[in-house]
Amino acid sequence: MQETPRWSASPSHAGLERAVRENVPEVRGSLEFRRVPTGKFNTSWFVRDGTGRELVLRIAPPDDTEFVFYERDMMRQEPELHCLLREKTSVPVPRILAYDDSRRFVDRDFLIMERLPGRPLTELRGVDVDGVYRQVGRYLAEVHALAAPNYGYLGAHRPMPPCDRWAEAFKVMWGKLVADITRVGLYDTAEEAAMRDLLERHVSVFDRPVPAALLHMDVWNQNILVEGSGRVVGLIDWDRALWGDPEIEFAVLDYCGVSVPAFWEGYGRRRDISPEARVRHAFYLLYEMQKYIVIRQGRNHDPRAASVAKAQVRNVVRQAFGP
Residue 215, pLDDT above cutoff 50: yes
**What pLDDT is recorded for position 39?**
73
pLDDT by residue (tens digit) across 89-132?
A: 999 999 999 999 999 998 999 999 999 999 999 999 889 999 99
Q: What are phi and psi of 182, to 5 degrees?
A: -65, -40
Ranges of H-type helices in the chain = 13-23, 78-88, 129-144, 166-183, 189-202, 246-256, 261-267, 275-294, 303-321
Residue 5, pLDDT above cutoff 50: no
Domain with CATH 3.90.1200.10 in the chain: 121-321
Radius of gyration of the chain, Cα coordinates, nearest whole angstrom: 20
Q: Is the CATH code 3.40.50.1220 the one for domain 13-115?
A: no
Q: How far apart are CA 161 and CA 148, in angstroms?
A: 14
pLDDT by residue (tens digit) across 165-178?
A: 999 999 999 999 99
pLDDT by residue (tens digit) across 272-321?
A: 999 999 999 999 999 999 999 999 999 999 999 999 999 999 999 999 99
**What pLDDT is recorded for position 254?**
97
Domain with CATH 3.30.200.20 in the chain: 13-115
pLDDT by residue (tens digit) across 33-70?
A: 999 987 778 999 999 999 999 999 999 999 999 999 99
Band (pLDDT 50/70/90 cuts) for residue 1 is: low
Contact call for residues 265 and 296 (beta carbons, < 8 A): no
Q: Is 254 exposed, middle or buried (0-12, 13-18, 19+ CB in 10 A)?
A: middle
**Which percentage of the chain shows pLDDT scores above 90?**
91
Q: Is the CATH code 1.10.1050.10 the one for domain 121-321?
A: no
**What pLDDT is recorded for position 7?**
32
Q: What share of the chain is helix, strand, coil (3-state, %, to 5)?
A: 45, 15, 40
**pTM score of the predicted model:** 0.93
Contact call for residues 78 and 99 (beta carbons, < 8 A): yes
Residue 6, pLDDT above cutoff 50: no
Q: How far apart are CA 221 and CA 91, in angstroms?
A: 16
Amino acid 252 reads: V
Residues 65, 67, 70, CA angle at the centre, nearest 5°? 140
* β-bridge pairing 231-235 and 147-148: unpaired
Residue 9, pLDDT above cutoff 60: no
Residue 222, pLDDT above cutoff 60: yes
